[in-house]
């Protein structure tokens, strides 16, 4: 089975913010650990996707968004993407 990763990103990427790709599953997990208001706020800044697809999603987050999600405390959430040059 071919695994196709899809990418989502926070709104700050266009502004040239520094960031990393995070594993979609960790992103969802982190969202679920936030109070709902805060989770909605963060999720609103990132392209949405079906949570069932999370294992196949890479989420690019700037440092501030990752911090909101406390993903900066979870180094293994960061995905080293061997980006294929098309």
- Smallest distance from the beta carbon of 81 to Zn ion, in angstroms? 17
Q: What angle do CA 79, 85, 86 make, to 5 degrees?
A: 125
Residues ≥6 apart with Cβ < 8 Å to 13: 19, 60, 62
* CB 61, min distance to Zn ion, A: 6
Q: How far is the CB of 25 from Zn ion (least distance, A)?
A: 19
Residues 6+ apart with CB under 8 A from 27: 46, 54, 57, 59, 61, 69, 71, 77
Q: Between 54 and 63, whose beta carbon lies closer to Zn ion?
A: 63
If the CB atoms of residues 14 and 84 are measured against Zn ion, the closer one turns out to be 14
Smaller CB distance to Zn ion: residue 16 or 35?
16
Q: Which residues bind Zn ion (CB under 5 A)?
A: 10, 12, 62, 65
């Amino acid at each position: 089975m071919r695994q196709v990763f899809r990418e989502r990103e926070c709104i700050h990427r266009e502004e040239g913010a520094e960031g990393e790709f995070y594993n979609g599953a960790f992103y969802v997990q982190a969202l679920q650990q936030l109070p709902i208001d805060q989770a909605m706020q963060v999720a609103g800044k990132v392209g949405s996707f079906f949570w069932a697809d999370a294992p196949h999603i890479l989420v690019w987050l700037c440092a501030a968004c990752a911090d909101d999600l406390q993903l900066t405390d979870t180094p293994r959430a960061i995905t080293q993407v061997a980006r294929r040059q098309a």
